[in-house]
Amino acid sequence: MTKTDIVILAAGKGTRMRSQLPKVLHKLAGKPMLTHVLDAANAMADAHKVVVTGHGAERVRATYPESAFTMVEQTEQLGTGHAVQSALGRLRDGAKVIILYGDVPLITPATISKMLNAVDEEHISLLTIELDDPSGYGRIIRDDHGEIEAIVEQKDANSDQLQVSEVNTGVMALTTELLRAWLPKIGNQNAQGEYYLTDLIAIARQAGYSIHGVQPISASEVEGINSRQQLAALERVYQLQLAEQLMASGTSLADPSRYDQRGTVIAGTDNFIDINCLFEGTVTIGSSVRIGPNCQITDSHIGDGVEIKANTVIEQSTIGDLAVLGPFARIRPGTQLGSNTKVGNFVETKKAIVGNGSKINHLSYVGDAELGENVNVGAGTITCNYDGVNKHKTEIGDNSFIGSNSTLIAPVSIGVDGFVAAGSTISSEVPAGHLSVGRAKQRNIPGWKRPTKKK
């Protein structure tokens, strides 16, 4: 099996980002740009990754585990050729090497594979693209036979070369041995006084090698990020791609331009997602699910036939089939809702197990609690789970009824078929089948007069 070495250039400061954060750590769809490139690289068999850092090297290293890649530091930023030279000592003999960029985050494994497959004993490969507006890019210069013979940077190009619309993306692939032989031949006699990696193309031609031009699947794959404006623009491009993938799998979106995914969404069919919904981490969605506008779902599983109404937040929880949530419900980590459950408006749950058919319809807090099946929790009910130091559990048996505005002081248990009268404060066990009334005694005072304002 051919060895693959992947060099990722990530040394730039990103001056136009106007940030203390290294440019490659700015996030696209919830992940640092560099992580997107590493993910694509990891799809290659036997991929050995070398990341060349410079500005903010310590923060880059601290962001990733030691095993994520080999890191080398470019102490002086003297151009892309100099950056790759810094990585030479970490490359393996007999490997195919591809050079990627930490601020070009949407390169795909398919394009990387095409680049590597085009490398052999007589060819190196270069990723190029045709642009309507090639301003700022190095131009691809071809000979009379259509073969690539050189790349000319815009600042060094003459008027005829500036008319060329095929441009260099900076991504190229060749063998380790060729890279070692040719990099020392790169000079810095150019307008920037830098060592351009692109000079390898002319060197390769002089050595009798052919350059195999490869085109990316889409233009977004080669878009680089140099400013926050460009980052925002590419975010929308990427989000639309994710939205289109989700729709192709059987989910309808009210407006694909108002869909945001920062992680992985795995969905069944015949779902509907309204506008301005955000999905983070790993979210699985069953079939025939309806999600209203302005919802946020993080690292959770949503069962079949669930209805999630507007402005509901779900975090690290499991929602059973045919459950109805919201509007304005907050489902905090550790919640497990059974099938046919209801959690209504302005209800907050945390680490709560709610049995099949149970309802918490509105204006309640249920935390550190276990509810059986067919429990009804009235409005304004709270489980007092925290004593200032420790958390305590509330247990409510099957078919119990908790009246409105009740306070359950944990640790406490309500037996099967228990009934708590509205307005009660419960601090001890309610046996199965019992009615518990925990109210202060009512007094009616005759002849009472309201206070009046003092003159």
**pLDDT tens per residue across span 293-321:** 999 999 999 999 999 999 999 999 999 99
CATH 3.90.550.10 intervals, the chain: 3-222
What pLDDT score was predicted for residue 322? 98
Burial 188-212 (b: 16+ CB within 10 A, else e): eeeeeebbbbbbbbbbbbeeebbbb
Which of 17-21, 307-311, 407-411 is the least confident region?
17-21
CATH 2.160.10.10 intervals, the chain: 228-436
Angle separating helix axes 109-117 and 33-42, nearest 10 degrees? 50
Supply 447's token pair: 């002849």
pLDDT confidence bin for 120, thresholds 50/70/90: confident
Per CATH, the homologous superfamily of domain 3-222 is: Spore Coat Polysaccharide Biosynthesis Protein SpsA; Chain A (3.90.550.10)
Give the domain 228-436 fold. UDP N-Acetylglucosamine Acyltransferase; domain 1 (2.160.10)
Query: Residue 184: CB partners within 8 Å, gap ≥ 6?
Result: none
d(CA 242, CA 55): 31
Within 10 A of 450 (CB to CB), how many other CB atoms are there? Answer: 4
Within 10 A of 333 (CB to CB), how many other CB atoms are there? Answer: 14
Residue 12's SS3 state is coil
Q: Which position among 48, 145, 362, 434 bears the catalytic label?
A: 362
Has 48 been annotated as catalytic?
A: no
What pLDDT score was predicted for residue 140? 94
Supply 409's token pair: 């002081």
Start-to-end CA distance of the chain, whole Å, equals 96
| pLDDT of 1 higher than 80 | no
pLDDT confidence bin for 28, thresholds 50/70/90: very high
Which of 102-111, 202-211, 262-271, 298-307 is the least confident region?
202-211
**pLDDT tens per residue across span 349-401:** 999 999 999 999 999 999 999 999 999 999 999 999 999 999 999 999 999 99
**pLDDT tens per residue across span 211-249:** 999 999 899 999 999 999 999 999 999 999 999 999 999
| pLDDT of 184 higher than 90 | yes
Mean pLDDT of 253-282: 98
Report how far Cα 173 is from the mean position of its chain's Cα atoms: 29
Mean pLDDT of 337-348: 98
d(CA 387, CA 38): 46
- Average pLDDT of the chain, as a whole number: 95
d(CA 306, CA 283): 14
